[in-house]
């Protein structure tokens, strides 16, 4: 009997089992597979209508009713899919996005209009992409770009399916129309520049804006199609979460978190002591008046608030919770840290309030006040999620808090509030009249209620451009125009105002 080892009979051409694809790989495969489907006719009709509105109501007009209608209409083709999915939170976010989109029709401040439109875009994107985790929120720009790339063949197949056997005839008609538009535009512009009489007959036809209208219309339609397709087939990675790390030991975890909580609570205790001790206590301790002391450090406290939220998020993932004593210890430490953070938020808000009393209110100061208040609400949400250690709803809640913050900021009419606060209070520095004159039309009704000579100084510097039709209508500009048309202004009133 031979002692030679036996060689196993292995077929080199046999198909070997492949490794199981990762959840992300399956999500990507399913995501791109939806590009092979065709868009429903109703969705295409809605997308086309929004695109036409975008080209007609945005280009050539100041931000106003037209921009608001288009910004809100972008989300309408996605609403039926959200209703079918019974996505209550998604519908709520779309409602918030629509409310933010209405701001251009109500207020005139460019900085606030831009923030609200950006907030509308982000809030609506979170809703249609079904982003429910922190990684999904961070990947939202990539999801939007990928959704746009996926929506193009989806919409093209829908159009081709709707045309059926008439596809060739329709394409020929579109080519003929495109050539006609190019020829008429080129030769019409040349003939108009050569003959004034001919140009006078073309004054009602603004050919210069035609390319911009087409480009904006196509862009708006593409965004609406992307939103609708994401709502119909949201990416599966919207709820993917990183694998939970191994819990740390209780002592290893508790020392840094407990130390930070003690530090923050100690800071809070000193703030309470300074508040109760008042001017004398602070003067004896640091050589400053209480107002001078409290006005310092707002920016650092905002950074502390943000960093503490990051620490809480990371610590919660590594928190040991196997035993009841571990859950009690970690919950207590995180609760103490959050309570201290709320104290930091309150201290920051008080410091900015004192700063405003001394140096006046500006747009930036009002905005950072709103941001810090929103961070305080986020801390409360974190504490609510920590009661039962369930925070799957938290990322979307943070987005909702951001949208609510912008809506609340818009509801205060910031430019009018800045004018009222600065004109009514006595500050440590002279009134910055030039800054007040640069405020938007939102502040004109408030300026009309001031005493002379400041009233005439501010109203006399206002010159509103003429309205650009219904698409450019704006409630604040209309009110300002009505006030200015009825207001009597004292000449050279600014010479009597104390300038800085």
Please state, in angstroms and rounded to a whole number, the distance separating the CA atoms of residues 85 and 81: 6
For the chain, the domains span 37-239, 250-412, 417-496
Q: Which residue from 203, 160, 210 is spatially nearest to 184, judged by alpha carbons? A: 210
Please state, in angstroms and rounded to a whole number, the distance separating the CA atoms of residues 315 and 359: 39
Helix H or strand E segment including 222 = helix 210-232
Specify the pLDDT at position 1: 47
The radius of gyration of the chain's CA atoms, rounded to the nearest angstrom, is: 30
Q: What is the DSSP letter of 466?
A: P
Residues 63/474, Cβ–Cβ less than 8 Å = yes
Q: What is the mean pLDDT of each run of 10 residues along the chain (500 residues)?
A: 55 56 78 87 92 91 93 95 90 96 96 97 95 90 94 88 67 75 77 75 66 90 95 84 79 90 88 65 55 68 90 89 86 92 90 83 92 94 88 91 97 95 77 89 91 86 80 92 85 68
Q: What share of the chain is helix, strand, coil (3-state, %, to 5)?
A: 75, 0, 25
Q: What global pTM score does this model have? A: 0.85
Residues 82/94, Cβ–Cβ less than 8 Å = yes
Specify the pLDDT at position 171: 67
Structure tokens at 127: 């809703």
How far, rounded to the nearest angstrom, does the alpha carbon of residue 397 sit from its chain's CA centroid?
Answer: 14
Residue 478 contacts by C-beta under 8 Å, 6 or more apart in sequence?
467
Left if phi > 0, otherwise alpha if psi is -120 to 50, otherwise beta: which for 394? alpha
Three-state secondary-structure class, residue 390:
coil
Specify the pLDDT at position 311: 92
Q: How far is CA 121 from CA 22, 57, 104, 106, in A?
A: 31, 18, 14, 18
Residues 97/124, Cβ–Cβ less than 8 Å = yes
Q: Which is it for the CA torsion 332, 334, 339, 340, positive or negative?
A: positive
Structure tokens at 235: 């990416």
Specify the pLDDT at position 172: 73
């Amino acid at each position: 009997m031979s002692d030679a080892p036996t060689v196993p009979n292995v077929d080199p051409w046999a198909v070997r089992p492949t490794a199981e694809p990762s959840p992300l790989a399956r999500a990507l495969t399913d995501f791109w597979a939806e590009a092979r489907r065709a868009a429903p006719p109703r969705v295409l009709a809605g997308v086309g209508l929004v695109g036409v509105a975008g080209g007609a109501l945005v280009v050539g007009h100041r931000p106003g009713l037209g921009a608001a209608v288009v910004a809100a209409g972008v989300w309408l083709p996605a609403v039926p899919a959200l209703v079918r999915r019974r996505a209550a939170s998604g519908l709520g976010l779309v409602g918030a996005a629509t409310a933010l989109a209405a701001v251009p029709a109500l207020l005139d401040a460019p900085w606030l209009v831009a923030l609200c439109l950006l907030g509308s875009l982000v809030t609506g994107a979170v809703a249609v992409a079904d982003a429910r985790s922190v990684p999904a929120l961070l990947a939202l720009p990539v999801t939007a770009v990928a959704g746009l790339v996926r929506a193009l063949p989806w919409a093209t197949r829908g159009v081709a399916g709707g045309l059926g056997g008439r596809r060739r005839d329709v394409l020929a008609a579109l080519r003929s129309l495109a050539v006609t538009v190019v020829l008429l535009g080129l030769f019409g512009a040349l003939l108009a520049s050569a003959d004034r009489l001919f140009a006078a007959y073309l004054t009602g036809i603004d050919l210069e804006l035609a390319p911009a209208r087409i480009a904006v219309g196509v862009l708006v339609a593409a965004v609406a199609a992307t939103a609708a397709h994401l709502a119909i087939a949201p990416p599966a990675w919207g709820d993917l979460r990183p694998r939970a790390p191994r819990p740390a030991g209780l002592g290893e975890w508790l020392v840094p978190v407990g130390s930070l909580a003690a530090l923050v609570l100690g800071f809070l205790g000193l703030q309470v002591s300074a508040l109760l001790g008042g001017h004398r206590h602070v003067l004896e301790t640091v050589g400053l008046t209480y107002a001078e002391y409290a006005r310092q450090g707002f920016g650092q406290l905002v950074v502390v608030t943000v960093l503490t939220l990051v620490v809480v998020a990371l610590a919660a993932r590594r928190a040991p919770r196997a035993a009841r004593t571990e859950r009690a210890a970690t919950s207590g430490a995180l609760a103490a840290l959050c309570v201290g953070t709320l104290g930091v938020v309150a201290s920051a808000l008080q410091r900015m309030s004192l700063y405003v009393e001394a140096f006046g209110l500006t747009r930036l100061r009002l905005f950072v006040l709103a941001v810090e208040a929103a961070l305080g609400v986020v801390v409360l949400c974190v504490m609510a999620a920590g009661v039962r250690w369930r925070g799957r709803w938290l990322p979307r809640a943070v987005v909702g808090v951001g949208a609510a913050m912008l809506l609340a900021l818009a509801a205060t009419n910031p430019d009018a509030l800045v004018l009222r606060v600065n004109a009514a209070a006595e500050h440590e520095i002279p009134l910055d009249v030039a800054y007040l004159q640069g405020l938007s039309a939102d502040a004109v009704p408030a300026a009309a209620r001031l005493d002379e000579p400041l009233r005439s100084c501010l109203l006399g510097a206002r010159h509103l451009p003429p309205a650009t039709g219904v698409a450019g209508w704006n409630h604040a500009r209309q009110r300002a125009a009505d006030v200015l048309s009825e207001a009597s202004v004292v000449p050279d009133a600014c010479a009597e105002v104390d300038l800085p």
